[in-house]
Structure 1
Amino acid sequence: MAKNFEPENKLPNMIGPGTKIKGDIETNGDIKIDGSIEGNIISKGKVLVGQNGTVTGEVKCTNCDIYGTFDGRLTVSELLSLKASSKLHGDIQTSKLSIEPGAIFTGTCKMDEKVTPPAANANIKK
């Protein structure tokens, strides 16, 4: 008896260099941003802001790595990693925080073991 084969999509959503988006994004998977986003992002996976990526808005996600620029409010239910090339201006709330030497962080940080994971259709303040 033959089985239906449905390949799992392990590729992350990608916003490429030179791409500019104004609006909100919701995803159940990971997202990599090498372009520019002005809006809000909700991800049940990892948000990765590449070295040339910029995000202005509010982000709620499970994990986050920032190599580029972020300006806004960031809520991460597990681990937030600010890499050496990152520039973060805003407020963060996370369970765990890693900051490499050279990273720039200006704002406030609230660490709590029980940060609520992002949910689909979660309300983001506008």
Structure 2
Amino acid sequence: MKVLSFEPPEPFATQIGQSVILNGKLRSNLPLSLRCTLRGSIEGTFVRIERSAHIEANSCTVQNAVIAGCFTGRIKAVDSLVFLPSSHISADIYTARLQIIEGATFEGGIEMPGFSATDDVTGTSH
């Protein structure tokens, strides 16, 4: 199994601190580190939702995401999505690669290209 990266290929261009509350649309072409409270939508390349963040996103569309904080809503991570042990996620997600690390909590739906609900993901035959 390929281990997914927790860090972007370049340094975080923007870091939004814990005391910030945002309502609306956040868009960036460079890596984002979020420690804030956000209600709205996110578009970006690499987004890291830190442990102190509380995100309610009706839409989050990114290339890659790492979640260590609280996330509620919908997320489309085109390449990869990682849930760290401190994360609390209640969302419907769409991603090509998903890694959920022990200790993370997740409730919601998962859609992955190339897989259907009837696929045998255990690798065993019936």
Query: Structure 1 stretches of 5 or more lacking a match?
Result: 1-8, 114-126
Q: Which amino acid aligns with 1:61?
A: V
The 3-state SS of whatever aligns with 1:88 is: strand
Counting matched residue pairs gives 104
By relative contact order (CA 8 Å, sep 6+), the higher-ranking structure is: 1
Deviating beyond 4 angstroms after TM superposition, the runs of 4 or more aligned structure 1 residues are none
Q: Distance in 2 between matches of 1:91 and 1:14?
A: 25
**Which position in structure 2 is the counterpart of 1:31?**
32
**Normalization by structure 1: what TM-score?**
0.79
What secondary structure, in the 3-state scheme, does the structure 1 residue paired with 2:96 have?
Answer: strand
Aligned partner of 2:55 in structure 1 is 55
Aligned CA RMSD, in angstroms, stands at: 1.3
Identity of aligned residues (%): 25
Tell me how far apart the structure 1 counterparts of residues 74 and 19 of structure 2 sit (CA, whole Å). Answer: 23
Matches within 5 A, 1:27-106: 27-43=28-44, 45-57=45-57, 58-106=59-107
Deviation at 1:10, TM superposition (A): 4.6
| Structure 2 length-normalised TM | 0.79
1: CA distance, partners of 2:12 / 2:25: 20
Report how far residue 11 of structure 1 moved.
4.0
Give the residue type in structure 1 aligned to 2:49: V
Distance in 2, matches of 1:96 and 1:28, equals 21
Structure 2: gaps spanning 5 or more residues: 1-9, 115-126
Cα distance per residue 1:39-67 (max 9 Å; x no partner):
10010x21100000111012000000000
